[in-house]
Chain A
Amino acid sequence: MAAVSIKGLTKTYDGRRVLDGLTFELAPGEIAAVSGRSGSGKTTLLACILGFVEPEAGSVFIDGEDVSGASVRRRRIAYVPQDYGLFPHLDVAGNIGFGLAVRGAKPAEIAAAAGRLLDLVELPREYAEKDVAELSGGQRQRVALARALAVEPRLFLLDEPLSAIDPETKAKVAAELRALIKRAGVPAIVVTHDQAEAQMLADSRWRLESGKLLPAQ
């Protein structure tokens, strides 16, 4: 059974059909890269899967469950946006433990989980009390991933994960990111405009064109 199955997803903006009956499947643990021109609908696709935007038609199944009508929080999809979306008023541990705190976890449990996840994303445990503004782009990305992993997601969505990384270190960060997602065993959809990045990160490559996902060359 596919881990994620998207059937007939359709969304129109200002009379333009951005997603046009888009259908797509993702195997357990698979990392798929989606590329496309600017404005091709990549962000809309992520927003529809996450539940941020309501599509006009189509369904999203995760582990066989139809989550199309479910609220954002019920879908349990970990989203790492381009700017990483870290909460600026919380420190590193506060960010990582956010999903646990809203589930009623005790401070000691949150601290323990934050430490464990910092180890997993290979950041020193002393970073727990750091202000997120003090972190580099790569470190922020790791914190965002640790935060996403804390809630045991069923699917990862990463929007342009390497766009803020220096060209010299991109290949290294891509390899680390891929290893990390594989270690977590969670399927992932990675949106990128760069074919080279897609190749470094993903098992399968797709391009979004005329509202449909086609295998990339």
Chain B
Amino acid sequence: MRSTAPRTPASIRVLAYGWMAWLLLPFAILFVGFIMRLDLARTVFADPRFLSAFWVSLASAFVTAVVAGFFAIPAAYALAFGRFRNASVLETLMIDVPQTLPPVAVGVIYLYAFGPGRPWNIAFTFLAVVTAKLIVSSPFALSHTLRRFRDIRETKLDLMARSLGADTKDVLLRILVPMSRREIAAGLTLTWARAMGEFGGSLIFAGVIAYRTEILPTYTNRLSQQDPLLALTATTVMVAFALLSLLAVRTLIAGKRK
């Protein structure tokens, strides 16, 4: 740390703290609203549709994370160690583009490709929920794993293993994955958290069918038009999960630095 740092001018401090306050404002509103109307929490938690939406959200986000992990590890290996002519284009297509695609567009595309009248019609099913979540959330798993694989490649430990007789499967399972377990876990946690909050794609491709495809964000959306205070309570649950996953990722990364 620099001990001779000059005092930050008041104008910069006002702008910085003002911006921080603006970003934290929704959390403050949520917290105060939840505390003031704790009785509403009971109403929400007693609603069987809420409980169903909660479980569908949890289960679909979990399946999404498992599928993302299953494909992200070989994909990261291919990008880190493979010889592609346009590796950076491929990486942009697999990591950046899915994250910037408007979720509504994802829903529309999938509905057109795998919707009613198509040979593989999976629209308005649990599978549709997972499919919509997968495209926007899997890039987290891939980018975290890929970054770590590239770091290991720099150390040449993969080549070291090969010189000792390891084949690609050994390099992956005995070197890359064990050495990257924290980053893979962090990437999967973020994938799961993003999948928990995904809304637009699921809304269009999976619809809002109670007890089947209704997830917490679509449940909250429906509720917000009927009773904003009840919606606020349901939102608290989503935000709590998001913060918990962020905390888990921070702990994983901090653990690595020790």
Q: Which residues of A contact B (CB under 8 A)?
A: 50, 52, 71-73, 75-79, 81, 85, 87-89, 98-99, 101-103, 147-148, 151
Contact = CB atoms under 8 A, between A and B. Distances in A.
B10 interface: no
Contacts of A101: 174
Interface centre among A85, A101, A103 (most CB of B within 10 A): A85
Given A73-B167, A87-B161, 14 more contacts: A50-B159, A52-B156, A72-B162, A73-B165, A76-B165, A79-B163, A81-B156, A87-B160, A89-B178, A102-B164, A102-B166, A102-B174, A148-B164, A151-B165
A99 B166 CA distance: 7
A79 B174 contact: no
Given A88-B179, A102-B167, A81 B174 contact: no
B151 interface: no
A103 B161 contact: no
Instruction: Choose among A71, A81, A98, A102 the residue with the greatest number of B CB atoms under 10 Å from its CB.
Output: A102
Given A87-B175, A101-B174, A102-B167, A71 B162 contact: yes
Nearest to A78: B163
A114 to B, nearest CB: 14
Contacts of A52: 156, 159
A58 to B, nearest CB: 19
A161 to B, nearest CB: 15
Interface string B189-200: 000000000000
B178 to A, nearest CB: 5
B253 interface: no
